[in-house]
Amino acid sequence: MTINQFFDRYIARYSSVPAVCYGALVLVLFMTVPFAVADIVQRHRAVIETAEVLARFEHRAPASSAELGRAAGDVPQGSPFLDGQTVTVASAALLQRVTGAISRVGGNVVSSEVEPQELHSADGFVRITATCELEQKALQPLLYDIEAGMPFLFVDQFLAQAPVPASESGRIRVVLEVSGLWGGSQSK
């Protein structure tokens, strides 16, 4: 007996088995179609989102509706470098800028220090350290004020101590190390 004869006898004896197998196969194929369509739609959306991100990076389209209303005048005006004829004057300008930012958010400057600038320093950055006390809710506006305006300033180090529970003021102590690039070092 050959294999073909075996299958012919089996199919003749159980005629409903091939019909059930065929029906199951058709059902599986019909169930695969929605998943395939969902995958195609998901990939299409991913392509569209990637194209939008690329367009934003290439400055062809704004990132959001909030940026549609943003005017070019919102860019801070002024020099990106610290002003001053000497590094000492630039350090004083940096210190004044940081203490002014602390005062604007209602903080008190406890101490401040200008980091010594070596004469052979090649990076051209002027650094100060300021210790202040302020409310916790004033931290974000303080950091934004320091880093968002002109000249470009960078918070290199940030340390905050939680308020002492016995203290009624609830103010926290913050140590900031801020640096800015001195424009006078570029002309040398």
Percent of the chain with pLDDT over 90: 44
pLDDT confidence bin for 188, thresholds 50/70/90: very low
pLDDT at 108: 93
Domain ranges of the chain: 3-57, 87-186
pLDDT at 71: 46
Question: What's the sign of the alpha-carbon dihedral 16, 18, 20, 23?
Answer: negative
pLDDT at 8: 79
The vertex-104 CA angle with 103 and 109, nearest 5°, equals: 15
pLDDT at 74: 61
pLDDT at 167: 61
Cis? peptide before 80, omega within 30° of 0: no
The pLDDT of residue 142 is above 50? yes
State pLDDT tens for residues 43-70.
999 999 998 888 887 765 455 555 544 5
pLDDT at 144: 92
pLDDT at 79: 78
pLDDT at 95: 93
pLDDT at 80: 82
The CATH topology of domain 87-186 is: Alpha-Beta Plaits (3.30.70)
State pLDDT tens for residues 89-124.
889 999 999 999 999 999 999 999 998 876 546 678
What would the DSSP string read from start to end of the chain? --HHHHHHHHHHH-THHHHHHHHHHHHHHHHHHHHHHHHHHHHHHHHHHHHHHHHHHTTSS-SSHHHHT--GGGSPPS-SSB--SSHHHHHHHHHHHHHHHHHHTT-EEEEEEEPP--TT-SS-EEEEEEEEEE-GGGHHHHHHHHHHSSS-EEEEEEEEEPPPTT-SS--EEEEEEEEEEBGGGG--
**Within a 10 A sphere around the Cβ of 139, how many other Cβ atoms?**
16
